[in-house]
Structure 1
Amino acid sequence: MSDLFDAAIAAERRASTLLCDRLRSTEPITRAGLNAAMVEAYGGTDADGFWTQRDSFEILEHALAHHLQFGPYPLLKLSDASAACDLLERLPTQTVRSEDQIEWQQFSTPVDLAAVVVLLANLQNDDIILEPSAGNGLLVAHCRSYAALQLNEYAPVRRARLRHVFPDAVVTGHDGATINSTLANAPRPSLILMNPPFSRSVGLGADAHAAVRHLQAALRRLRSGGRLVAIMPDWFGPSARMRDLFETTLRDVSVRTSVRLEKCYLKHGTSIAVRLFVIDKVPGAAVPATIQRGSIRELIKALTIHERADLVVTPPVTPKRSSSPSLFRAMKSSRAEPRPYHAPARNNVLPVSYTPLDTAAPLLDQVGVYLPYRPSRIVFDAAGEHPTALVESVAMGSIAAPVPGYVPQLPERTVSERLLSASQLETVVYAGHSWTQFLPGRFKPSKEGVGLDEAEDGRAYRKGYFLGDGTGAGKGRQVAACILDNWLAGRRRNIWISKNEALLEDARRDWTALGGLAADIQPLSNWKIDQPIPLDQGVLFVTYPTLRSARGDHSRLQQLIDWAGDDFEGVIGFDEAHEMGGVAGGEGALGKKEGSQQGICGVLLQNNLPGARVLYASATGASEVNNLAYAVRLGLWGPETAFSNREQFIAEIRKGGIAAMELVARDLKALGLYTARALSFAGVEYEILRHELTPQQITIYDAYADAWAIIHRNMERALELTAVVDGLENATLNSGAKAAARSRFESTKQRFFGQLLLSMKLPTVIAAVEYHLAQGQSVVLQLVTTAESILNRRLGDLSPDERADLEIDLSPREYV
């Protein structure tokens, strides 16, 4: 076998040498000429089985990479790329594809497109160049001078060719989507040139987002200030469907050039259109207008080579450790010595090491009704403190959590680089600990309602975990960490449910911060309600309104259950879980009300996936009993509890008021099922900035108050004229219409005066901002509204002539 392999390599090298000689001439290489070279080198024809037509095209690319290494034409300015166009026209069209080529999306870069890529890269003599999917080396073969060359190629045969053409390069064979981890020991590149597979991934097979996974990994690998030039699929752009993924991927970088090219791959056997991006790893700027052309010759006249940014030298990450501060005053004692920090050699997945405490850690000094927070039963070996001190109530702090037995597996850098604090890692430990347990008994979903019925032939339901942290504790980061722990354990289907579509960006931010790819999180709305979800693995992002939606015989809930499968054991993260708080119904302003549909759907999802690892996240978990009615996985009612069902639990706890809720929260923490921390206000000071109304402002306010009084009187008269109320008998004839009208009036009036008062206060606010900026201080302003919806309505009403000369009034008068 070894002799046969050596003979094949020798024949390939002979064919490559013959083709190199023909490339140095100015004659075209026809199919007949290519076949003749192959017959001469291999000693037989393709019909005799000595080689295949696909082999001939691969060896031609191998010879072409050799030829380009000797600089057959200068490549100093964009017009030089026309010589590459001439070379391409001399080559035969590739008309045969192999199964391996299709399997691994091996479509090499045409020489004219490769020349443009290298020119736009603005190569520097000290560049460390990386090509993550190098193929036969046609993209980097144009590069003349550099400090080092790193070539990565997954296919072994192509990898061997790279070593032959580029003997001084470091050649590796990793999955291009994982290079940020697998190449961790290599120097970081300052320039990356890439043409990734568009729709196939290692281990995944068909993968619509393969190119994005490769691009995101490359951007992480690139040095700060470095440049990346990427050939991407045509769909990767700011279109309506892909805008979120596009903007998330390029959020922290600057796109210098954006190009769309048609028919540039005709010589390689496909008419696919592609996009070309020049990206600098510097703080983001607006994406430029896309240049669209049909050929490289047309394109080079429209391009500009941009100057390179300065490379940033990143200092080593230092640990962040602190002693426990007091709660309401700045700490004056000296800080604890930082523990030694060792930079990670690789981003391996390792157990999160910690020491369990048989005796709970001592309580820290109480201030008011709060205690400084500390993990009561865990001491992590390397984790740092939370960036801002955390506290918990005295009632909760006096209860110690149980000794956990679960050890998470996370990427090494999440601990060594303090991507998760000790408090956040504690959540991952206890969530994993609770998910190893099951509720007492076996159950089946009730045929009616949202309950579970005990049944001997039923299934065991896995316990859940409740994260009740307040703002600033990083609930999203903790949800992402819990999903990542399970992802790395092989559970690659997970569900993230949140309040609205705008939070998709936050979810992707937290997921990518821990090492995931933005493309791993896909919104359920990408697929129609009556279609099965083709996503083989990933995190489905679902909003509560989407979860409850249905059309005809199809529902999002059933679509989600079908995707998860009966044996689903992944994480269901209910972010903003209080959105399900209406599942039990109750007394409202207009009397008794039924359970909310989104709460019901949230509970039904839990009931239909008994093996799911359920994580509730809400800052208002223990504030009202209905905010626990959806938490069916905490074991608050049912077998081996004091309450036979949820209805009894709600009725009894409601009688006990807030004190009973506090006891429930304490018991849940003692069982390791609940935690609730909040930010400390240590060192925070505030003072009120008061604005004195001027006589003119008082006059304006009074005039508008009189105007609203007139509107109020006229509205009451309108209610009489429309038979909503009877003015003679002072009786209400339609209570619903009357309540709706008055509610609309009062809410509009409040918004009007809110904006009016805000505008009156602005002179004082602006003066204060200017004063603090002059003192070298930072100023943060919270925007209550951007008036975007009003602006969109007003723009929609304008004619083309009015749009050309915009003059729009967005003042509070809109409400009048």
Structure 2
Amino acid sequence: MTLTALASPAPRETPASPTHRALALCRAADTLLPLLVQGVAVDARAVRAAMEAAFRGSDAQGLWDWKDAYEACEAAQLLFLRRFGPALSRQPSAAQLAMISKIAGLLPSQTRRSQESQALQQFSTPTPLAWIAARAAGLGAGDLVLEPSAGTGLLAIFAEIAGAELALNELGDGRAELLGRLFPASPVSRFDAAHIHDHLDAAVIPTVVLMNPPFSAGAHVQGRVADAALRHMASALARLADGGRLVAITGAGLSPHNAAWRDAFSRLQQRGRILFSAAIDGSVYARHGTTTETRLTIIDRTPAEDPDHFPDSPGMAANAAQLLAWVDAHVPPRGAVTPVHPTRRLCSKPALHRAASAARRPAPPPAQISGRPLGYTVCDWSPPVGDRLTEALYEPYVLQSIAIEAAKSHPTPLVQSASMASVCPPKPGYVPLLPDGLVASRVVMQELSRI
């Protein structure tokens, strides 16, 4: 008897690491680029063929998903703009917008989402809107441009075309790896952009910020974060150089004329003056998988004369062409800003750069310390009188394990929690060496006990 074997499904492969994924996406983008150059529409069949060749397998095997495919398409757009952007920038603004819109229209609509893209609200900026935002920023060769939520670099590429230096940040590991491949000369950090000012290297002081932050999602936070975009804007504005410009794309509701946000924008204007704010119809974002209405807000890092006064909004732009007309009509040129970032190129691997520099420098000679030992005696701790604490929340603070010679008492009463007062600290066995003048000045004993 002959048995017919049942066909088994293709084995599901282990997804690639972020590094290998980024390399594969760049290969797929290189495959798609000639189609854009020829002006040929890139359909799903062409995208699938490029992805399967780059990842050496199919999405059914788990080697890639359609979010990856869309990012490969965005990378192909970026490569097109890098090749033809300098020549395109010499054309009239209307012609530039028309060409950028045409190229964006050759790519498939992003109809499928991944779990990560939903959680982090990873909606890349449509290139027509990104180009208008960059135009509103008034970019030049002397600028250092920070993009706190850089995504796949569709905002950053226009800064590069203008000759500006880039500092990119992206929290998502996969996108950060891709950015590192697409912008190898620029540093890519991986911080939560809601706190970018707190985390970014102190040497990075941008003259321009281009940003499209999550509208209502927070890193490592489940559920909706209503002020997420405002937090991103405030932190980026705090890092921006005086006189610099911030251009932000947010949800349409985040408006200084919205009563719910008016007080927040008044506080923001104590540091930066709002120049322009206009809503944008959801159709502008339709090819990127959403029809959410958005807003373009432009802020200069100059305190407003009246923080409670905001410029009138021209309304809601029906399309990118109308938004461009409003920006050209209502946004003033930037003031002069003296670059405050170092004249050297920012190193794409600063930690490695510092380590290599340190290895070349000879070790400094050991410091010669002049001092005298701190004299103290160890004593046994005795519990509170009556072997019980009082009913108060705090107890008087006294040294419990040591007595310091020649130290004076604190001029005001000190307290500690009841729980701390009931436990004796360990008895020290070392003798600190202190500068001569410190001991001679009879420092308060409580301060000396902390050494």
TM-score range, shorter chain: 0.5 to 0.7
Secondary structure, counterpart of 2:209 in structure 1 = strand
Checking the alignment, whether the CA contact within 8 Å between 1:133 and 1:194 is kept in structure 2 is yes
Paired residue for 1:258?
Answer: 277
Checking the alignment, whether the CA contact within 8 Å between 1:85 and 1:297 is kept in structure 2 is no
Checking the alignment, whether the CA contact within 8 Å between 2:77 and 2:104 is kept in structure 1 is no
Residue 296 of structure 2: which of 273, 276, 291 is its match?
Answer: 276
* Unaligned ranges ≥5, structure 1: 315-376, 378-398, 406-435, 439-816
Mark the CA change 1:22 to 1:209 in structure 2 (over 3 Å): closer, same or farther: same
Paired residue for 1:236?
Answer: 254
Map 1:578-597 to 2 at 5 A.
none
CA distance in 1, matches of 2:93, 2:312: 20
CA distance in 2, matches of 1:83, 1:254: 33
Residue 89 of structure 2: which of 64, 68, 75 is its match?
Answer: 75
Residue 199 of structure 2: which of 182, 188, 191 is its match?
Answer: 182
Which of the pair has more CA radius of gyration? 1
CA distance in 2, matches of 1:118, 1:10: 28
Map 1:754-773 to 2 at 5 A.
none
When the two chains are superposed, the root-mean-square deviation of aligned CA atoms in Å is 2.6
Paired residue for 1:664?
Answer: none
Map 1:301-700 to 2 at 5 A.
301-304=325-328, 305-311=331-337, 401-403=412-414, 436=417
Mark the CA change 1:437 to 1:204 in structure 2 (over 3 Å): closer, same or farther: farther
Q: Does 1:106 align with 2:95?
A: no
Checking the alignment, whether the CA contact within 8 Å between 2:142 and 2:339 is kept in structure 1 is no
Secondary structure, counterpart of 1:71 in structure 2 = helix
Secondary structure, counterpart of 1:61 in structure 2 = helix
Q: Does 1:123 align with 2:149?
A: no
Secondary structure, counterpart of 2:326 in structure 1 = coil
Q: Deviations over 1:591-647 (max 9, x none)?
A: xxxxxxxxxxxxxxxxxxxxxxxxxxxxxxxxxxxxxxxxxxxxxxxxxxxxxxxxx
> Which amino acid in structure 1 is aligned with residue 413 of structure 2?
P
Paired residue for 1:249?
Answer: 268
Runs of 4+ in 1 over 6 A off after TM superposition: none
CA distance in 1, matches of 2:49, 2:16: 22
CA distance in 2, matches of 1:7, 1:241: 45
Mark the CA change 1:289 to 1:75 in structure 2 (over 3 Å): closer, same or farther: farther
Paired residue for 1:296?
Answer: 320
CA distance in 1, matches of 2:278, 2:73: 28
> Which amino acid in structure 2 is aligned with residue 117 of structure 1?
A
Checking the alignment, whether the CA contact within 8 Å between 1:282 and 1:309 is kept in structure 2 is no
> Which amino acid in structure 1 is aligned with residue 279 of structure 2?
R
Mark the CA change 1:404 to 1:309 in structure 2 (over 3 Å): closer, same or farther: farther
In the TM superposition, residue 60 of structure 1 has moved relative to its aligned partner by 1.3
Secondary structure, counterpart of 1:149 in structure 2 = strand
Mark the CA change 1:48 to 1:190 in structure 2 (over 3 Å): closer, same or farther: same
Checking the alignment, whether the CA contact within 8 Å between 1:226 and 1:311 is kept in structure 2 is yes
Q: Deviations over 1:53-78 (max 9, x none)?
A: 22211221122222222234623553
Percent same amino acid among aligned pairs? 31
> Which structure is higher in RCO with an 8 Å CA cutoff and minimum separation 6?
2
Secondary structure, counterpart of 1:259 in structure 2 = strand
Mark the CA change 1:8 to 1:310 in structure 2 (over 3 Å): closer, same or farther: closer
Mark the CA change 1:226 to 1:29 in structure 2 (over 3 Å): closer, same or farther: same
In the TM superposition, residue 404 of structure 1 has moved relative to its aligned partner by 5.1
In the TM superposition, residue 121 of structure 1 has moved relative to its aligned partner by 0.7
In the TM superposition, residue 101 of structure 1 has moved relative to its aligned partner by 0.3
- Between the two proteins, the alignment pairs up a number of residues equal to 325
Residue 73 of structure 2: which of 60, 67, 79 is its match?
Answer: 60
Checking the alignment, whether the CA contact within 8 Å between 1:253 and 1:284 is kept in structure 2 is yes
Secondary structure, counterpart of 1:34 in structure 2 = helix
Q: Deviations over 1:706-744 (max 9, x none)?
A: xxxxxxxxxxxxxxxxxxxxxxxxxxxxxxxxxxxxxxx
In the TM superposition, residue 8 of structure 1 has moved relative to its aligned partner by 4.4
In the TM superposition, residue 272 of structure 1 has moved relative to its aligned partner by 0.2
Paired residue for 1:42?
Answer: 55
Q: Deviations over 1:543-589 (max 9, x none)?
A: xxxxxxxxxxxxxxxxxxxxxxxxxxxxxxxxxxxxxxxxxxxxxxx
In the TM superposition, residue 196 of structure 1 has moved relative to its aligned partner by 0.5
Checking the alignment, whether the CA contact within 8 Å between 1:75 and 1:81 is kept in structure 2 is no
CA distance in 1, matches of 2:217, 2:274: 25
TM-score with structure 1 setting the length: 0.38
In the TM superposition, residue 233 of structure 1 has moved relative to its aligned partner by 1.4
> Which amino acid in structure 2 is aligned with residue 192 of structure 1?
V
CA distance in 1, matches of 2:23, 2:338: 46
> Which amino acid in structure 1 is aligned with residue 246 of structure 2?
L
In the TM superposition, residue 130 of structure 1 has moved relative to its aligned partner by 0.4
> Which amino acid in structure 1 is aligned with residue 242 of structure 2?
S
Checking the alignment, whether the CA contact within 8 Å between 2:22 and 2:178 is kept in structure 1 is no
CA distance in 1, matches of 2:338, 2:64: 50
Q: Deviations over 1:355-394 (max 9, x none)?
A: xxxxxxxxxxxxxxxxxxxxxx9xxxxxxxxxxxxxxxxx
Secondary structure, counterpart of 1:282 in structure 2 = coil
Checking the alignment, whether the CA contact within 8 Å between 1:107 and 1:268 is kept in structure 2 is yes
Checking the alignment, whether the CA contact within 8 Å between 1:122 and 1:306 is kept in structure 2 is no
Checking the alignment, whether the CA contact within 8 Å between 1:93 and 1:269 is kept in structure 2 is yes
Q: Does 1:226 align with 2:238?
A: no
> Which amino acid in structure 2 is aligned with residue 46 of structure 1?
D
Checking the alignment, whether the CA contact within 8 Å between 2:139 and 2:164 is kept in structure 1 is no
In the TM superposition, residue 288 of structure 1 has moved relative to its aligned partner by 2.1
> Which amino acid in structure 2 is aligned with residue 75 of structure 1?
S
In the TM superposition, residue 200 of structure 1 has moved relative to its aligned partner by 1.2
Checking the alignment, whether the CA contact within 8 Å between 2:143 and 2:339 is kept in structure 1 is no
Residue 174 of structure 2: which of 148, 154, 157 is its match?
Answer: 157
